[in-house]
Amino acid sequence: MDYQHTQIGTVIFVIVAIIICIMVVVWLNSNGAYWIIPAATIGFLLVLLVLFGTLTVKITDNTIKCRFGVGLVRTTFSFSDITTVTIVHNPWYYGWGIRLTPHGWMFNVSGLEAVELTFNSGKQFRIGTDQPRRLAAAIQEKIDNEG
C-alpha cells in the first residue's frame, strides 16, 4: 500500500493569522516609530508557517519519511528498524510541533491522534496524524513484507 498524506495545522494557521492581523494594526498605528517590531514579528511568523505549518508523511519501498513544511525539518525511518506500530491518543498537553514526550520524540501539527513506532533499539517515535488507521495499516503492511 502506497501512502502519502499532508496534514495542515489549521489551528496553527488561524492563530498565526490572528496574531498577524494584530501586528498589522500595531504597524499601521505606529506612525513610523518602531515599525520594525511588528514587521519582524510578521516575518518571523510567516517563516514559522512555511517551516512548520504542515506535516507530510510518505511511505516509500523501504522507509517512512516525515517532513514539516518545505522539508527543512525532516526525519526518515527504515522499516527494518521498526518492531511494532500502535495507534495512540496523545494528551492535549503534548502539544504540536517537535516534542520530546515520555514516549520518545513526536512530530505533530494538529489533533491528538498519532501512530507510535517502536524500534529494535526500544526507542519510540510518534507521528501525529488525522489518519491513524490508514497510516498504521500502511506501515504494518510494509513491516510484514520486510520479514
Residue 67 lies in a domain: yes
* Same-domain check for residues 71 and 46: no
* Same-domain check for residues 38 and 80: no
Summary mean pLDDT of the chain? 92
- Give percent of the chain above pLDDT 90: 79
Residue 2 lies in a domain: no
* Same-domain check for residues 25 and 74: no
For 5, 12, 30, 39, 58, the CA distances from 68, given in Å and listed in that order, are: 12, 13, 34, 24, 12
Half-sphere exposure of 97 (CA within 13 A, CB side): 10
* Same-domain check for residues 94 and 64: yes
Q: What is the pLDDT of residue 147?
A: 58
Long-range contacts of 8-11 (CB under 8 A, 24+ apart): 8/53, 8/54, 8/109, 8/110, 9/52, 9/53, 9/54, 9/55, 9/96, 9/109, 9/110, 10/110, 11/96, 11/110
Q: What is the pLDDT of residues 53-94, one digit of tens each?
A: 999 999 998 999 999 999 999 999 999 999 999 999 999 999
- Give percent of the chain above pLDDT 70: 97
* Same-domain check for residues 109 and 123: yes
pTM: 0.88
Q: What is the pLDDT of residues 18-39, one digit of tens each?
A: 999 988 888 888 777 677 888 8
* Same-domain check for residues 47 and 66: no
Give the residue numbers spanning the domain of 37.
8-51
Tally of domains within the chain:
2
